[in-house]
Amino acid sequence: MENTMSETNKQSSFVPMAIVATLFFILGFATWLNGSLMPYLQQILQLTPFQASLIIFSFYIAVTFTAIPSAMVIRKVGYKNGMALGMATMMVAGLLFIPAAKTQIFALFLVAQLVMGVGQTLLQTAVNPYVVRIGPEESAAARVSVMGILNKGAGVIAPIVFTALILGDFSQSVGKELTQTDIDTMANNLIFPYLGMALFIGVLGFAVTKMPLPELVDDEASQGKGQVKKALAHPSLALGIVALFVYVAVEVIAGDTIGSFALSLGVEKYSVMTSYTMVCMVIGYMLGIALIPRLISQQTALTISAILGCVLTLAIVLGDNSSVSISTLLGLKTVLPDTLLMIAVLGFANAIVWPAVWPLALSGLGTLTSVGSGLLVMGIAGGAFGPLFWGLASGGVQSAEAQQGAYIVMLPCYLFILFYAVKGHKLKSWK
């Protein structure tokens, strides 16, 4: 009888988890598309590195001001309707790229990115709890890791699809002066792919409302007044939020600025470079699943990641762009500057940070765990500021040397993650 009930539970949770897995893939696809979009618009609109960084900023800044409102919306309409509403917002964002491409007005692209970020935040707020709460609690970490692999796996595919559908024959235009006809053609290449993505997300959003997703019930004890203040009284949580903020900053720098840096170096397939970073992240996720906690602890993994991040950052800043290697990361032999490959390997250093910080930050929170989780999600806002600081540090010029030196902004981020791994997560009181 017990075995029959267990099998029934597995079957009843399979469909919801399959739906959630699909949504995580879509989240990853839309997010890591930015790594290709940023240098592409930089080339079309002739943007400085700082202006190009605003493309990423407008996407991630949505988390800062919509995370809490999104939670309020979810409580009012429910998790399933919240997912559909998030996808409807993402569909609108995809459609906004059409007038943006037609007019080639930079501000319209930023608005489209902002709306996409709002939709993503709403969808993430609705879908993340399902990973933990649908299925046995003891296997939640494994489900989180699987969803992470799907998210980053989408990040491998998105730039390849972008390059095939949008960049097309213009991959050889790097370093050449574009005519207005070239610019118009490149801008128009955005229309049908983004229209297709918008329609697909819209149809899926409608389908989700008809699918057998169980509604989740929130813990009333975690919604009382003053819960946020009580949660932040735990140094491990407060410092964990900062650790996630700087982590997402370096993750997005490694994933989304690598294309712009490749463009400045004259790499023809600059729009696919994000895939290299994502491949390294997926490898890191898989190693994390295999090694933690069997062979190494979460704290040790986090320490190693932070040290590797510091070493790679210094190697990138001090490296020689003329030194090249043959890369086969994506199954194709490609000659790339060593500095670009080291940025990609940052994906490997970054992979373990997110799954390692979360349990360390939430340890000992008890009934405040859900509040703490909501606060940790806000650390995603770091993705808005990482590329922005990189753009500012580059001095707003197109030279490869200036952009290379700008990667030094990652060093203090990795040093803070190292502090959190060694000491910060152990603090029990501010005194």
- The CATH number assigned to the domain holding 369 equals 1.20.1250.20
Quote the pTM value. Answer: 0.83
Using the predicted structure, report yes or no on whether residue 110 has a pLDDT greater than 90.
yes
Q: Does 431 map to a domain?
A: no
Q: Does 394 map to a domain?
A: yes
> Range of 68's domain?
2-212+224-426
Q: Does 156 map to a domain?
A: yes
Residue 171's pLDDT is 58
The phi, psi pair for 264, rounded to 5°, reads -70, -25
Q: Does 319 map to a domain?
A: yes
The phi, psi pair for 234, rounded to 5°, reads -90, 110
Give the number of domains in the chain: 1
Sign of CA dihedral 195, 198, 202, 207: positive
Burial class (CB in 10 A: 0-12, 13-18, 19+), 130: buried
* Span 63-86, pLDDT tens digits: 778 877 887 888 788 888 888 999
Q: Does 70 map to a domain?
A: yes
Cα(168)–Cα(188) distance, integer angstroms = 12
Question: ∠ CA(38), CA(41), CA(42), 5° rounding?
Answer: 80
Other CB atoms closer than 10 Å to residue 310's CB: what's the count? 19
Residue 381's pLDDT is 86
Q: Does 72 map to a domain?
A: yes
Q: What percent of the chain is modeled with pLDDT above 90?
A: 33
Using the predicted structure, report yes or no on whether residue 315 has a pLDDT greater than 80.
yes
* Span 359-413, pLDDT tens digits: 888 888 777 776 787 788 788 889 989 999 999 998 866 788 999 999 999 999 9
Q: Does 82 map to a domain?
A: yes
Cα(204)–Cα(206) distance, integer angstroms = 5
Greater model confidence, 328 or 28: 28
Greater model confidence, 193 or 355: 193
Q: At what angle do helices 140-162 and 2-32 cross, to 10 degrees?
A: 30
Q: Does 377 map to a domain?
A: yes
